[in-house]
Amino acid sequence: MEQPIITIKLQNELDVVLAYKRTMQLSELTGLPLASQTKFATAVSEICRNVLEHVGEGLIRFSMVQNRGGLFLEAFVTDRGRGIPNLQDILDRNYTPTGGKGQGIYSSKKLVDLLQIESDFNKGTRVRMHKRIPANHPPINPSIIQGWSDYFMLEPAISPYAEIKRQNMQMIELMEQLRVRTIEAEYQLQEIQHLNQELQTSHHEVTTLLQERENQNRQLEKANKTLDEFAHTITHDLKAPLHNIVGLVDAVSDYMAEDNKEGVQAVLPMVQLQIRRMESLIRDVLAYSLTGRQQIQKQPVNVNELVQTIVSSLSIPKGFNISLDQELPVMEAEEVYLSQIFSNLLSNAVKYHDRPEGNLWVKTVEHPTYWEFVVADDGPGVPEENHQKVFELFETTNDVNHPDSTGIGLAIVRKIVEEKKGRVWIQSEGRGTAMHFTWPKETPTLL
């Protein structure tokens, strides 16, 4: 079904303005949104302007067309010019326009729902443009269409200036709407970027929390395992002197029943030895368990004076010589921890020396962020396979000359050093042993 509405003869630029106005009016009457009205009117203007530019005159007819595809507003433009020789290239965009020729046809094709062109040499060109009417359009029937036609026939002539001004105002309004929509789109984009940033932050925080939880779980598992081993080992090591004491006490009872004073006097020193061994074991176990759990105030520690105090408290054989590095620092630290470390290392160096005369050295090496301390001796040395083992809790070298060793001293040293994020290690090749440990710098001052 096709019902004509109005026909306009195209002879000058004012007719193009009139064609634009009629397109806008009809588009509004059929219920097209403003953006679609403007697109259709712009396409019609481009085709009409091409007719004036290349032929000089022509016709445009507006109609309502209905087919299986729906209801359309049609603009049909004809001229009797010489035709368009390269029409298909223009439509396919394979043609580079010169002086603007062909540009209007290609642009108009993108603004309408249908653009059909027929062009014959010396017979003219026919351009059919369709714009689909929306489904929610106002009532449209032959009587209403005829009413539109009658209205346009009776409408007074328009002022070109007034029409152009109205079009400019309409364009300004459209540009303002576009500006507002652009601002809204930019705001929405900022919101999306902000949400993405928050999402990334939340994801990072969740990942960090999961990693922290995994680390805590691993530390807890390690602590539980250490606690189990600690409980098992301490039970075993405490039982040994207790069993010995029980056996010795039974022997004392037997000697006393026999009134054997010599036997009692021979056994009592052994009882005292076992009691001292248990006392030492309990003291060392307590020191180990408290390491790193007490809040001890840091204070300036003169390492040179501290080591000299420790040396004077130890039972150092007369044949031993102890040399202290002149560069031992004054540092902010927990004095009790440093005292435990140096006491264990120095007493071990003396205790396990295999000669009546020996030499001990206490040295230091300064690094950018920490101090490295060394307690060295010229004793029998430590086999390489025992370099790590001696730092384990309750581990000893099975020295028959020192059965009273608890195997806790070096474990305490390692625990203190690792609590301070340092490390401890042994250097020993053949004779001599060097015990190294590091300590973080806390505003140290050299003597």
What is the rounded CA–CA span in Å between residue 33 and residue 326?
94
Q: What is the DSSP string of 285-326?
A: HHHHHHTTTS----EEEEHHHHHHHHHHHS---TTEEEEE-T
List C-alpha distances in Å: 406 to 103, 158, 274, 317: 99, 114, 12, 22
Are 300 and 331 in contact by the 8 Å Cβ rule? The answer is yes
Question: How many other CB atoms sit within 10 Å of the CB of residue 41?
Answer: 25
Which residues are CB-neighbours of 194 under 8 A, at least 6 positions away?
A: none
Across the chain, mean pLDDT equals 83
What is the rounded CA–CA span in Å between residue 244 and residue 413?
29
Residue of 111, 142, 146 lying closest to 129 (CA atoms):
111
Q: Which two tokens stand for residue 291?
A: 């390491």
Q: For the sheet containing 299-302, what is the strand order? A: 299-302, 329-333, 445-446
The 10s digit of each residue's pLDDT in 57-90 is 999 999 999 988 789 999 999 998 888 877 777 7
The 10s digit of each residue's pLDDT in 249-271 is 888 888 888 888 888 888 888 88
Going by pLDDT thresholds of 50, 70 and 90, the confidence category of residue 398 is: very low
Return the bridge partners of 377, or none.
360, 433
Same fold, 2-158 and 295-446: yes
pLDDT exceeds 90 at position 162:
no
402 versus 50: which is more confidently predicted? Answer: 50
Q: Which residue's structure tokens are 């990693």? A: 211
- Where residue 62 falls (left for φ over 0; alpha for ψ -120 to 50; beta otherwise) is beta
What is the rounded CA–CA span in Å between residue 208 and residue 193?
22
447 versus 284: which is more confidently predicted? Answer: 284
| pLDDT reported for residue 336 | 83
Q: Which of 137-151, 218-232, 304-318, 356-370 has the lowest mean pLDDT?
A: 218-232
- Rounded to an integer, the average pLDDT of 430-447 is 77
- Rounded to an integer, the average pLDDT of 306-314 is 87
Amino acid at 207: T
Are 124 and 79 in contact by the 8 Å Cβ rule? The answer is yes
Exposed, middle or buried by CB within 10 Å (0-12, 13-18, 19+), for 4?
middle
Instruction: Parse the chain into domains and list their residue ranges.
Output: 2-158, 295-446
- Fold type of domain 2-158: Heat Shock Protein 90 (3.30.565)
Entry pTM: 0.43
Which residues are CB-neighbours of 255 under 8 A, at least 6 positions away?
A: 261, 263, 264, 267
What is the rounded CA–CA span in Å between residue 335 and residue 318?
28
- Fold type of domain 295-446: Heat Shock Protein 90 (3.30.565)
The 10s digit of each residue's pLDDT in 53-65 is 989 999 999 999 9
List C-alpha distances in Å: 33 to 38, 135, 136, 167, 243: 9, 12, 11, 16, 102
Are 439 and 422 in contact by the 8 Å Cβ rule? The answer is yes
| pLDDT reported for residue 446 | 38
Q: Which two tokens stand for residue 241?
A: 């002197």
- Rounded to an integer, the average pLDDT of 104-131 is 89
pLDDT exceeds 90 at position 96:
no
